[in-house]
């Protein structure tokens, strides 16, 4: 089996899916999920800060790291400052996900 070693330029949701796109993306661990509910204090390319229950939690994003399978891992923030977040909501997408679902990539 061949793997994509570098990032492609655009990710798009599938027009017709199998229904397993969410589960495959969840099992791969490529996106960041909120551990508790709260409000986003700030977002950046390297960190998302989530405030809830009187404390602030910094969630570090993966920035172009090498994986064990010789591929590139990268996360992009999908939330913005001031947004209220629920537990389990997606904060950042990975390279092969959009909105927490597995995607197709185009050059």
- Number of independent structural domains in the chain: 1
Cβ–Cβ < 8 Å for 74, 67: no
Look at residue 91 in the predicted model and tell me its pLDDT.
Answer: 93
Per-residue pLDDT of the chain (107 residues; tens, 9 = 90+): 455 555 556 666 666 777 777 788 788 778 889 989 999 999 999 999 999 888 899 999 988 888 787 777 888 899 999 999 999 899 998 877 887 777 766 55
23 is in which domain, residue-wise?
10-106
Look at residue 72 in the predicted model and tell me its pLDDT.
Answer: 78
CATH number at residue 43: 2.40.50.100
Look at residue 39 in the predicted model and tell me its pLDDT.
Answer: 96
Question: Does a structural domain hold residue 3?
Answer: no
Cβ–Cβ < 8 Å for 25, 13: no
33 Cβ contact partners less than 8 Å away, ≥ 6 residues apart: 88, 89, 90, 91
Question: Does a structural domain hold residue 51?
Answer: yes
- Residue holding tokens 């990268």? 74
Question: Does a structural domain hold residue 102?
Answer: yes
Cβ–Cβ < 8 Å for 105, 14: no
Q: Give the distance, in angstroms, between the CA of residue 7 and the centroid of all CA atoms in the same chain.
A: 15
């Amino acid at each position: 089996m061949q793997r994509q070693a570098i990032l492609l330029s655009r990710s798009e949701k599938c027009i017709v899916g199998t229904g397993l796109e969410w589960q495959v993306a969840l099992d791969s661990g490529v996106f960041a999920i909120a551990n508790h509910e709260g409000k986003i204090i700030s977002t950046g390319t390297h960190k998302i800060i989530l405030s809830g229950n009187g404390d602030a939690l910094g969630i570090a994003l993966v920035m172009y790291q090498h994986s064990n399978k010789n591929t590139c891992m990268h996360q992009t923030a999908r939330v913005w400052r001031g947004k209220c977040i629920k537990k389990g909501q997606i904060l950042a997408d990975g390279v092969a996900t959009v909105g927490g679902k597995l995607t197709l990539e185009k050059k």
